[in-house]
Amino acid sequence: MENLDSWERKERTRDGAEYVIRPVHRDDVDRERKFIDVLSERTRYERTMGLRHAPSPHRIEELVHVDYKDRMAFVATVGDEGAQRFIGIARYVREGGRGCEFAVVVADEWQGRGIGAALMCSLIGYARAHSIPALDGVILATNSRMVALALRMGMTLRMSESDRTILDAFLSL
């Protein structure tokens, strides 16, 4: 198994705040739950396309138990080792097919500061290093920050054929 520590790095927001990007760990269950709990209703809605309830404990376990190949997640954290908290998460999941579905979410008070882009750069770099041919996802057309991020990442956006409120995002790697 590869050394995942090589994927950890310190970053700074556009306004100079320091944070760390690292692969998610199996012991991050409480951090994941607390992160989801503090998301605003709007952010949760934009990320989950309408689901407003908190995920079950089983679902949270699934989110942090990645295989570092077909299921991967990077987290942005602040705080000391023992008191780390998540401020953003980017993940992909390959469920059959060639590409992987991606998702990214940043805590409300940290949005617009470059964290989503840094997380996506880590996720894209990791996917390329692990021969993932493409990332794809769906974005609410009204989620202007995510639309702008997808375009900055070089993704192709197309109106969904089945739902005009959704954009399909695609990035060939």
Element (H, E) at 20: strand 18-23
Element (H, E) at 137: strand 134-140
In a domain, 78, yes or no: yes
Quick: pLDDT tens for 51-64: 556 677 777 888 88
Element (H, E) at 58: helix 57-64
CATH of the domain at 32: 3.40.630.30
Quick: pLDDT tens for 88-121: 999 999 877 667 899 999 999 999 999 999 999 9
**Counted domains in the chain:** 1
Residue-level pLDDT, tens digit, the chain, 173 residues: 578 889 999 999 999 999 999 999 999 999 999 998 888 888 887 776 555 566 777 778 888 899 999 999 999 999 987 789 999 999 999 877 667 899 999 999 999 999 999 999 999 999 999 999 999 999 989 999 999 999 999 999 999 998 898 999 999 99
In a domain, 173, yes or no: no
State phi, psi for 40 to the nearest 5 degrees. -65, 160
Query: Quick one: pLDDT at residue 154?
Result: 96
In a domain, 49, yes or no: yes
Query: Quick one: pLDDT at residue 52?
Result: 58
Q: Does residue 132 contact residue 99 with C-beta atoms inside 8 Å?
A: yes
Domain with 98 in it:
4-132
In a domain, 64, yes or no: yes
In a domain, 62, yes or no: yes
Query: Quick one: pLDDT at residue 68?
Result: 92
* Amino acid symbol at 33: R
In a domain, 22, yes or no: yes
Beta strand pairing status for 71-78 and 18-23?
antiparallel
In a domain, 170, yes or no: no
Report the share of the chain in percent with pLDDT over 70: 94
In a domain, 154, yes or no: no
